[in-house]
Amino acid sequence: MSGTSSRKTARIFLIDDHPAVRQGLKLLLSQESHIVCGEAGNGTETFARIGSSGADVALLDLSLGEENGLDLIEAIGRLGASVLVYSMHEDAETIEKAFAHGAKGYVTKREMADVLLAAIADLHAGQRHISPRAAQSLANRALSLPEPKRESLLSDRERQILTLLGQGESNADIAATFSISVRTVETYYSRIIDKLSLDGMKELRRYAIKNRQY
């Protein structure tokens, strides 16, 4: 595979409850001059073997029969191995939990082999790694969340004007409400657009309608 000759040899401990998967990984890793220094199918086997293995990286599946691999991450890390999750789980919640438990990397099992090898190289070099599919899952989740309530950056008057704009009031009506000029209302719009990082008046109007309060 291109670019693999520069990768440094890592000692890798495999944790997966499917022997066939471990066998396939051993073949792949040996072709890249990595050393599989041990393997396990569950938590008990892992902690009986990994401590004396000298592993640099623990390649961990999250579905270990009735066990949840998330529960093993922190303890494995304390033994000196960087945990690289290698899992079929692609949902953002699981990915976030893995990193919260101390994982240094996350690769989904639908990625190409080069993606896994790149992740191993990064962790062996002391860097974190998240695979493209996992990163896309996190991005999709972030984009689906409600917009942050940045109105806290606004003054009381700016919030009042934003509310009236969302309720469909005209510039003249808003100006009359606060006994100010239409030009001053437009100045408020400019300030609100800047504080909410919006792209002009059209986006401000959409934002105001979407977040309108009655």
CATH topology of domain 4-144: Rossmann fold (3.40.50)
Identify whether the C-beta of residue 14 lies closer than 8 Å to the C-beta of residue 25. yes
Query: Per-residue pLDDT tens for 131-187?
Result: 999 999 988 877 665 555 566 778 889 989 999 999 999 999 999 999 999 999 999
Structure-block tokens of residue 110 = 């639908």
Delimit the CATH 3.40.50.2300 region(s) of the chain. 4-144
Strands 67-68 and 63-64: antiparallel
Q: What is the pLDDT of residue 7?
A: 62
| Band of residue 2 on the pLDDT scale cut at 50, 70, 90 | very low
CATH topology of domain 150-210: Arc Repressor Mutant, subunit A (1.10.10)
Delimit the CATH 1.10.10.10 region(s) of the chain. 150-210
Contacts of residue 196, Cβ cutoff 8 Å, sequence gap at least 6:
150, 151, 153, 154, 204, 207
Give 7 or 63, the one with higher predicted confidence.
Answer: 63
Q: Is the pLDDT of residue 26 over 50?
A: yes
Structure-block tokens of residue 171 = 């510039």
| Band of residue 4 on the pLDDT scale cut at 50, 70, 90 | very low
| CA separation for the pair 96, 82 (Å, rounded) | 17
Query: Is 0.75 topped by the overall pTM?
Result: no
Element (H, E) at 207: helix 201-210
